[in-house]
Chains A and B, each alone.
Chain A
Amino acid sequence: MSDIAEAPSPNVPDGAAGTGLDVRSLGQILYLGGIGVVALGVLLWLLAQWNEGGAGEAVDAATGTITLSLGGEPPQLDSTRGTDAVSFNILGHTMEGLLRYDAENRLVGGVAERWEIGDTTATFHLRREARWSNGEPITAHDFVFSWRKVLDPVNASEYAFILYVLKNAEAINNGEMPVESLEVFAVDDRTLQVHLEQPVPYFDKLVAFATYNPISEAFYESRQGRYAADAEDLLYNGPFTIASWVHGASIRLEKNPLYWDADRIRLNAIDYAYFTTDPNAIINLFKDGKTALAGLVAENLDDALQRRWKIKRFSDGAVFFMEFNHRPERLTRNYHLRKAIQAVNDSPELVYKVIKLPGNLPAASLFPVWLKGVDGYFRQEYPLADPAPDDELGRRHLATAMEELGLSEPPTLVMLIGDSPTAKKQAEYYQNLYKQKLGIDIKIDAQIFKQRLAKMTAGDFDIVAAGWGPDYDDPMTFADLFASWNENNRGRFDDPELDDAVDVARSSSDPKTRMDAMARVQQILFDEAAIVVSYERGSVYVSHPRLKGIVRRAVGTDPDYTGAWIE
């Protein structure tokens, strides 16, 4: 807004109204002001009638309701097409697949009460009491319909790849075979028979993923293209149903009385009354007793500590790393240049002195600590030697690299990053580190989300700050990321040995053989310095002291309130 110069007002005596400055003038102004305030009040009331909303307290024991904030409007609640965390969270509370995770992260029966998984076949026996929210029973046909929908090329599902283990799935998705050729059959209403392309030891974990959820064909067709567009355009089979959905503003879930395991559900309603990603708004709502859970960021951690809140942490599953560009025209294709950068990497310093948020873990391996191996945890069974930073080794590698590349001085590299404050802080740390230790100059290229993705895909970077989160609970969800055929391998790392190891891990049904192969992947990534791992992400949060039984996890619905209760 532009400002105007104050009009000159010569010859005006102090007290503009001349002698009129007295209590009566002031009274006049206050009187007019009073009328104005009353008018404003009436206007407010009128406008409030035109808008909708309003929410209760964080926890309400009398009605069994909890109030929460959500990261935003769920973009896609059609389980065949959803891809994002918010949608998956709502789906996790309102829908159920064949299997699900319980509070201890064990796989238990969902719609399926029994199942047998063989080498290349699987059979699921559905519960008689599993019903849709309109009272219709859930049948094996509902799975056949939705799985075909996922793979139908016309549907263009971005998560179709997670069904590629099904026989003929990939060919169908590529448009080479009709959807009817998918080898998944409803033997009868309550028996689902599945044929697999090859042995998939983690198939039970896959079917817990939301893309494998059932959809009622009759209902889907009856919505005429509006399936999942609104609360009434969905049929629910999970612990909750969407009772009201004000787009962009709030979603209210209420207990589903027709859920087969409804006795387990102790909350009556979950009110996502605020859609916001603003960390201050999130924490302020919690402080004011309006929401029952709030994630913390480094900036409001001190405040939380001062208030003596009980701060909880969990590993959200994701791993962050610096990914090199391995395309032929790039300097970072040089092995010694990558090794030089790897040698000076100091993950603990980054985690404890730069990011400074409890919960994050220093890491050297792409495989996070929570992944399970043969019997116990993968990383305990296959530890990766993580050498301390060695500047001397780094400089030696750099000297070799410069010789091989014909450079007279250390190169300048482009580091592509996101535009969040944390990303910038981290990039500046690396910029400083590489300059000091190796004399390498880093040009930081900060881009907003889609632009960064476009540049990653086009290979327009030397190093990119990237991350990966798990889809299912098996090391394979990380292991195949840098296979030469993986579209998400944005740096185009290409190593036949790694591809071999991935193939072995994918096709073998022997746990030991598989995990040995995964360990080879882990070692190759480190030896070749394909990436330099920065940290494993953990999250810290606070929750209402009376709200119990919240489950936080790396894989599956998170946060999960289905088993929560108010004390």
Chain B
Amino acid sequence: MLLYTVKRLIQGIVTVWFIATATFFAMHGVPGDPLMNDKAVKPEIRANLEARYGLDKPIHMQYWIYLKNMASGDFGISFTQQNREVNDIIREHFKVSATLGILAIVFAALGGILWGALTALYRNRAPDIVIMFLVILGISVPGFVFAALGQLSVVEINDWLGFTLFPVAGWGTVQHMIVPSMVLGLGTMAFLTRLMRSSMLEIANSDFIRTARSKGLPVTRILRKHQLRNAILPVITVLGPSIAAITTGGFVVELVFAIPGLGRYFVQAVQQSDYTVIMGTTVFYGAFLVFMVIVVDVIYGFVDPRVRLE
């Protein structure tokens, strides 16, 4: 088991190295560089700027220096936020993205399980049809539409109430977090509802439920102890990848709700050709994803010995 974990970790490190290398060369291959600005500068000044950031060295040297710094956990200083270290940017803003992501996933899981159980209970009747229609909407409408609609609704609701129930944008308090995390979790919630529904239906027909029923157990007890418990398992399984997807995919929501998360930096850095921030955030997100996958794999390894043998 230890050997398996170590093997997976080494694979993970190789993957991250590959991500870093591919990003590095792709980034340098794109026209434009971080030192370009609205106002053109004289060649002399440009040379000084290049020297300051080490861009005057040949590309393989830059790559080597970059790898060395990365290995020691130093991503350098941002080109656009000229006084900030990339490490600080990640530390200060990932916290916000993580908060948003965790809330969104909890919201999605809670809603998904509840709605899924409900639809299964009312199969092919009015609540099921209505909820499943909403689920199709939730799956097919892209996140940025929900974000914009969500914000607009908040404005209208506050206007109608005459006081601020939920803030329109910004970050920091409980009220700030609710609407963005709901918007971010909506797609996943719809997906989990479907999953939960089919899982519930499958289990309703299984032998142990029939046994429980024939034993004369109360319906509520069957539902809680047998049906829900077993039906939740596949939902838990897909939660792992969903966490990574939501935490990294929140940048649209961050943009619309003016949330100081890392996703915004990730996107802006690409637009600004901010080399150090592009590398820092890509490697960080890459490592985060790889790590989540490894954790899931190792847990599987514990649960299911067959995984280890492969």
Contact = CB atoms under 8 A, between A and B. Distances in A.
Interface of A: 1, 3-4, 6-7, 9-12, 14-22, 24-29, 32-33, 36-37, 40, 43-45, 47-48, 50-55, 69, 73, 75-78, 81, 83, 153-161, 173-175, 226, 228-230, 233, 246-249, 273-276, 278, 280-281, 284-285, 287-290, 448-455, 457-458, 487-488, 490
A173 B122 CA distance: 78
B23 interface: no
A32 B115 CA distance: 12
Which 4 A-B pairs rank lowest in CB-CB distance, beginning with the nearest? A53-B172, A20-B219, A450-B32, A487-B40
Contacts of B9: none
Nearest to A233: B83
B16 interface: no
Given A1-B191, A53-B176, A158-B39, A16 B204 contact: yes
A487 B148 contact: no
B49 A156 contact: yes
A3 B44 CA distance: 56
Contacts of B172: 48, 51-55, 249
B139 interface: yes
Given A20-B223, A247-B84, A454 B42 contact: no
12 contacts: A11-B205, A20-B222, A25-B223, A48-B173, A53-B172, A81-B82, A161-B42, A226-B83, A229-B84, A248-B89, A281-B258, A287-B168
B183 interface: no
A382 to B, nearest CB: 26
Nearest to B178: A44
Contacts of A229: 83-84
A17 B168 contact: no
B260 to A, nearest CB: 4
- Most chain B CB within 10 A, of A7, A10, A16, A455, is at A16
A1 B245 contact: yes
B276 interface: no
Contacts of A159: 39
Contacts of B80: 75
Contact of B83 (A11, A26, A76, A249): A76
B45 interface: yes
Given A44-B177, A48-B177, A278-B255, A454 B33 contact: yes
A25 B114 CA distance: 12
B151 A76 contact: no
A281 B257 contact: yes
Interface footprint category on B: 35 or more
Nearest to B224: A28
Contact of B44 (A21, A174, A451): A174
B69 interface: no
B199 interface: yes
Contacts of B271: 448-450
Contact of B114 (A29, A155, A248): A29
B106 A29 contact: no
A187 to B, nearest CB: 30
Given A44-B177, A53-B170, A54-B173, A451 B151 contact: no
Contacts of B124: 14
A28 B220 contact: yes
A249 B260 contact: yes
B95 A50 contact: yes
B121 A54 contact: no
B125 interface: yes
Contacts of A249: 171-172, 260
Contacts of A52: 172
B167 interface: yes
Nearest to A454: B32
A135 to B, nearest CB: 25
A375 to B, nearest CB: 31
A12 B123 contact: yes
B93 interface: yes
Contacts of B290: none
B145 interface: no
A9 B198 contact: yes
Given A53-B172, A248-B93, A17 B222 contact: yes
B201 interface: yes
Interface string B24-57: 0000001111101111111011001100100000
B96 A51 contact: yes
B131 interface: no
A33 B158 contact: no
Contact of A454 (B31, B113, B218): B31
Contacts of A248: 89, 92-93, 260, 264-265
Interface in B40-78: 40-42, 44-45, 48-49, 52
B201 A12 contact: yes
B169 to A, nearest CB: 5
Given A229-B84, A249-B260, A457 B36 contact: yes
A68 to B, nearest CB: 12
A290 B257 CA distance: 13
Contact of A488 (B39, B168, B169, B242): B39
B99 A156 contact: no
Given A160-B45, A287-B168, A288-B167, 8 more contacts: A12-B204, A16-B120, A20-B220, A48-B172, A156-B45, A158-B39, A281-B255, A451-B32
